[in-house]
Amino acid sequence: MNSEDTTIESRLRLEGASFVARRTTTTWEQFLGTLRAALASPPSSSNDFPRPGLTDRELQIAALFASRAAPTTQQIAELLALGTGTVRTHLKRARHRLGAHGLVVSSREELRSGLLAAGYLVEEV
């Protein structure tokens, strides 16, 4: 984890602890105690963060596109009875959502790796 990730995680932990403390305490001392206890806990692993929220269709199209068979967008469109433009739009949105979570997804192989890293795909044995 780089220093920027650590800073972001620390900020998220502080904000979360502050939110909980504001709603569960009545005095300033209780608030500070709750906040200190939450911040004293060890940082979570990066796997505890939610994965990118792909829609079912985005996931379906991205998984097909990233598969070892490497179908074209036209072939995916025919398979799913969709327009080619619709397939491209879903693929673009899936890449954008994965990219927003720090995953590089510019090539088929990177998209496949991103889907694996996000927990959407399981490595074939």
Burial classification of residue 2, based on how many CB atoms lie within 10 Å of its CB (0-12 exposed, 13-18 middle, 19 or more buried): exposed
Enter the DSSP assignment of 107: S
Distance in Å from the first CA to the final CA of the chain:
29
Cβ atoms of 114 and 54 within 8 Å: the answer is no
pLDDT given at position 123: 66
> Which tops the pLDDT comparison, 110 or 39?
110
pLDDT given at position 49: 46
pLDDT given at position 46: 47
pLDDT given at position 125: 42
- Dihedral sign, CA of 124, 56, 79, 65? negative
Where are the chain's structural domains? 3-47, 56-117
Highest mean pLDDT, choosing among 6-15, 33-42, 63-72: 63-72
Please write the tens of the pLDDT for every residue from 45-69: 444 445 668 888 998 899 888 887 8
pLDDT given at position 33: 67
Please write the tens of the pLDDT for every residue from 78-98: 988 999 999 999 999 998 888
Region 11-37: what's the mean pLDDT? Answer: 58
CB atoms near residue 73 (< 10 Å) = 19
